[in-house]
Amino acid sequence: MNAITVLVKNLADQHGRERQNLLPILQGVVEQEKYLSEFSMIEIARELDLPAAEVFGTATFYSFLEHKKMGKYIIRICKTISCSMKGSNQVLLTIQDMLKITVGETTPDGYFSLLQTNCLGFCHQAPAMLINNDVYTDLTPEKVREILSVYMNKKKEGVTDVQ
Amino acid sequence: MSNNYQLKRVDFIFKNENDWEEVLSKNLSHTPQELINELISSELKGRGGAGFPTGLKWKLSAEAVDETKYVICNADEGEPGTFKDREILSKVPFKVLTAMAICGYVIGAKIGTIYLRGEYFFLQPELNKAISEFKYYCDEIKFDFTINIFMGSGAYICGEETALFESMEGKRGEPRNKPPYPSSYGYMGKPTVINNVETLAHAYTIFNFGAKRFYDLGVQYSRGSKLYSVSGDTPKPGIYELELGMSLSDFVDEFGDGDTKAVQVGGASGFLVPRKRFNETTIGFQGKLTGISLPTGGSMMLFNSSRSMFNVLDNYLVFFNEESCGQCTPCRVGCQQLLRGIKAVKSGEKNAQYLDKLLRLAETMQYTAKCGLGQSVANSFSSIVENFREEMIY
């Protein structure tokens, strides 16, 4: 059986197969796969006996339920007013420069995706960003370089592991 | 003037919560009616921003006849400039859990859910630990109440109570028509009490120390204290618990950087107050006899003279464009047109009088949009355009 099919079945076993269990299941797939492919949404629809259009409609409403292939680490940088006032744009430019991608893109190696997001609730420690579920605050161009370097080194180590 | 006035700091919310077991068992020995009366006499109003009387909310749900009822804690804190609920949940989670359980006892609910915004996913492990410990104690005293967490997925609109129910039911987070209200028709169509995190933390204070301690703080119609999330151009950003009813000029004296040009009270959906109005503006709920009283979910953003109010408004409108659920036309199209409109005026494509058309559009949205999001866009739009018109044009 396909890995996604197994994942969806396990999530449905864990959360239930009612409509009110849809969000936790969608979140479960995103947690592992980083995004919802058309195939995974159809599998969820089949498992929960829902029209696929309903699953697609629900999933695409939520900004954290991506439906485009995403990298292993999703960077979400806050663009709302407090962060914008404290220089989130310079931080964004630094990230773009380091990763050689713009907002909405994923690095060719599939490691990083860069997104902007609305208020993260760290206005007093602005600017802020999320990398997957981890929060980084009081960012400066220098600080964000250090943070990303750590992630990039993880990648290098990961490559050595495979070899 | 406010030269020798000091802001009244309060320390209730973050005070230790070690006595939660005692607070829970002590209150379970009262009748639900006694507890409702206590809450009503405290005059606690919802701290999410809307300010509905909490005691009345509990009373209405308690009176609803149904075997299944729900208690929901709204932790979908998404208003720009607000970050107090995260602090409460990470520092004093047991206060929130205890108040939820007391609410369950009062209205006859056995299940409580914390709707936690996706951005706060990292709070989950600690919060789950607290929930297990809480459940263990409930079992020990043979009180049947279970709390769970439901994660949001990055939608501001889900903080609107009926959109939150839709989201929990596995649907798009689109607000429902009201009435029916949650007290009779909430999650899964069942009577539901939905309270903001901070409201529950205040309820804990009231159930611990009695209504009077709470009622003695604040001013008429705005009793008690409130957590303020302070950000923007301030030397001391952070979270502060202050009495309700303070004047904005006292607030700016304390938190401003000496060059404060305007304060946004209540986040993107709130009001912008220019310097000339600081003196006559107080922070509390509507109903004060003199001056302007502005409600807030706690977001206080300060802007100094280096800030362009055009950029501020542009930022808010981009926010609303992205977060509008899109189901009703006034909000969906209105947000788009307001954003395009101010850009057109700024670029000279439209003349300055076009701003008056936009103000009328914002007013129309206030009357015709289906939910609080679309209705409140006019708050920030009109207060910024009316007070900083020249910055919109030049």
pLDDT, tens digit, 9 for 90 and up, residues B4-40: 456 889 999 999 899 999 999 999 999 999 999 999 9
CATH number at residue B53: 3.40.50.11540
Which of B88, B158, B171 would best serve as a mutation to test chain A binding (most A beta carbons within 10 A)? B171
Q: Which of B152, B167, B230 sits opposite A124 (nearest CB)?
A: B230
Residues A52 and A79 in one domain: no
**Minimum CA–CA partner of B121 in chain A:** A133
Say whether both A81 and A144 belong to one domain.
yes
Domain total for chain A? 2
Parts of chain B with a pLDDT under 70: 1-6, 287-291
Query: Does the complex come out with an ipTM higher than 0.90?
Result: yes
Q: Residue B3 has what pLDDT?
A: 43
- Whether A50 and A86 share a structural domain: no
B290 phi, psi to nearest 5 deg: -125, 155
Interface test with A, best of B114, B231, B257, B300 (most A CBs within 10 A): B231
The residues on A that touch B, with CB distances below 8 Å, are 18-24, 26-27, 57-58, 61-65, 79-82, 84-85, 117-126, 130, 133-135
Nearest-CB residue to B155 (from A61, A122, A133): A61
CB-CB: which of A81, A118, A122 is closest to B323?
A118
Mutate to test the interface with A, among B68, B121, B127, B164 (most CBs of A within 10 A): B121
Which of A15, A31, A59 terminates a domain? The answer is A59
Amino acid letter for position B158: C
| Residue at B225 is within a domain | no
Residue that has been written with the tokens 């829902």 in this structure = A50
Residues B209 and B313 both lie in one domain: no
Answer yes or no: do A82 and A154 share one domain: yes
**For residue B157, what is the nearest residue in chain A, using CA coordinates?**
A62
Helices marked H in A16-140 — which ranges? 22-33, 38-48, 52-59, 81-85, 88-99
Of B183, B215, B247, the residue at which a domain comes to its end is B215
Nearest chain A residue (CA) to B79 = A119
In this structure, the answer to whether residues A100 and A47 fall within a common structural domain is no
Whether residue B270 is contained in a domain is answered as no
Chain B CB contacts of A17 below 8 Å: none
CA A15, CA A19: separation in Å to the nearest integer? 11
- Name the domain count of chain B: 2
Q: Please report the residues numbered 299 through 358 in chain B whose beta carbons come closer than 8 angstroms to any beta carbon of chain A.
A: 299, 301, 303, 307, 311-312, 315-316, 318-319, 322-323, 325
Do residue B72 and residue B202 come from a single domain? Answer: yes
Asked whether residue B260 is domain-assigned, the answer is no
- In the stretch 62-101 of chain B, residues with CB closer than 8 A to chain A read 77-83, 86
**Which sign does the torsion angle of CA A144, A74, B173, B226 carry?**
negative
**Residue A38 included in any domain:** yes
Residue B313: CATH number of its domain: 1.20.1440.230
CB B161 within 8 A of CB B167: no
Long-range contacts of B120-126, Cβ-Cβ distance < 8 Å, separation of 24 or more = B120/A121, B120/B75, B120/B77, B120/B86, B120/B89, B121/A133, B121/B151, B122/A133, B122/A134, B122/A135, B123/B86, B123/B89, B123/B90, B124/B149, B124/B151, B126/B90, B126/B93
Residue A130 resides in a domain: yes
CA distance B118 to chain A (A): 7
Q: Considering the domain boundaries, does residue B289 fall inside one?
A: no
Measured between beta carbons, the chain A residues lying within 8 angstroms of B172 are 57-58, 61
Examine the domain organization and report whether A50 and A77 are in the same domain: no
On whether residue A115 sits in a domain, the answer given is: yes
Q: What is the percentage of chain B residues whose pLDDT exceeds 70?
A: 97
Q: Is the pLDDT of residue A163 over 60?
A: no
Residue B296's pLDDT is what? 74
Could you tell me if B272 lies within 8 Å of chain A, comparing CB atoms?
no
Domain range enclosing B322: 309-393
Of B157, B183, B215, which residue constitutes the final position of a domain? B215
Residue B295 confidence (pLDDT): 74
- Of residues B52 and A161, which shows the higher confidence score? B52
Peptide bond into A127 cis (omega under 30): yes
Looking at the domain assignment, is residue B83 inside a domain?
Answer: yes
Which chain B residues are within 8 Å of A126, Cβ to Cβ?
231
The verdict on A104 and A49 lying in the same domain is no
Please indicate, yes or no, whether residues A43 and A110 belong to a single structural domain of this protein: no
Domain assignment present for B229? no
Task: Report the C-alpha gap between B8 and A159 in whole angstroms.
Answer: 57
Same domain, A88 and A157: yes
The answer to the question of residue B207 being in a domain is: yes
> What does the angle CA A135 – CA A139 – CA A144 come to, to the nearest 5 degrees?
85
Domain range enclosing A118: 73-162
Instruction: Say which of B117, B171, B232 has its CB closest to residue A85.
Output: B232
Within a domain: B41: yes
**What is the per-residue pLDDT for B8?**
87
**Same domain, yes or no, for A78 and A111?**
yes
Distance from the Cα of A82 to chain B's closest Cα (Å) equals: 6
pLDDT beyond 60 at A161: no
Would the pLDDT of A143 be above 60?
yes
Same domain, B182 and B316: no
- Do A55 and A9 reside in the same domain of the chain? yes
Beta-sheet pairing, B271-274 with B260-265? antiparallel
Whether residues B211 and B313 share a domain: the answer is no
pLDDT tens digit sequence for A47-102: 999 999 999 999 999 999 999 999 999 999 999 999 999 999 999 999 999 999 99
CA atoms within 13 A on the CB side of B316: 30
Nearest chain A CA: its distance from B235 CA (Å): 10
* Cross-chain Cβ contact A120/B119 below 8 Å: yes
Nearest to B231 among A63, A65, A124 (CB): A124
Residue B288 pLDDT:
46
| Residue from B172, B199, B370, B206 nearest B298 by CA | B199
If asked whether residues B348 and B201 sit together in one domain, one would say: no
The CATH number for A105's domain is 3.40.30.10
| A91 and A150 part of one domain | yes
A65 assigned to some structural domain: no
